[in-house]
Amino acid sequence: MSELTTARLLLRPFEPGDVTAVHAYASDPEVVRYMDWGPNTLAETEAFVADAADPAEGVHLFAVEHEGHVVGAVELRVTNHIHARGEFGYALARSAWGRGLATEAAAAVLAFAFDRAGLHRVAATCDPANTGSRRVLEKTGLTYEGRLKDYLHIRGQWRDRLLYAATR
């Protein structure tokens, strides 16, 4: 897998040495509050980093590095080759919030999806209460398409998702 660079970020493959940095955000209840995974145990983080080093076909998983430190992850998943569709998502450490880093990483992966992965449509979802993620998706150029009712079962509760998408 290749690397992507932006003005402030390096998006690169995960390495075994990333476990400590990944665990710092993946075990943070506030970071994973709206996710359908986590907070991670150390064993779960170790398994994630090991699997991330060799992702499945159609999965492009990047460690988000800022100033030499891994501060998050962003993933593009090709969901249908025939119709050239994909989905992406991201998670960043609290220390990276509010500085435009998620928007920068999302924009880089969206460009990768269209320019290098050959996708025509890319979608992303977020929890309706996650205003920060909604702003990231809107600033990245995705359009709000609707609300997915009871879309995920997270920690014993059904949660809606807001659907955003962009086309080439």
In the chain, where the domains are located: 4-167
**Residue 20 to residue 57: CA distance in whole angstroms:** 26
Q: Three-state SS for 122? A: strand
Instruction: Tell if the pTM clears 0.85, that is, is over it.
Output: yes
pLDDT score at 54: 87
Would you give the DSSP letter of residue 140? T
pLDDT, tens only, 132-154: 999 999 999 999 999 999 999 99
pLDDT, tens only, 72-112: 999 999 999 999 999 999 999 999 999 999 999 999 999 99
Q: How many CA within 13 A on the CB side of residue 79? A: 11
Closest by CA to 77, choosing from 55, 104, 103, 108, is: 55
pLDDT band at 1 (very low <50, low <70, confident <90, very high): low
Q: Which residues contact 142 (CB under 8 A, 6 or more apart)?
A: 110, 122, 123, 124, 164, 165, 166
pLDDT score at 65: 98
pLDDT score at 22: 98
Topology at the third CATH level for domain 4-167: Aminopeptidase (3.40.630)
Q: Is the pLDDT of residue 68 over 80?
A: yes
pLDDT band at 53 (very low <50, low <70, confident <90, very high): confident
pLDDT score at 66: 98
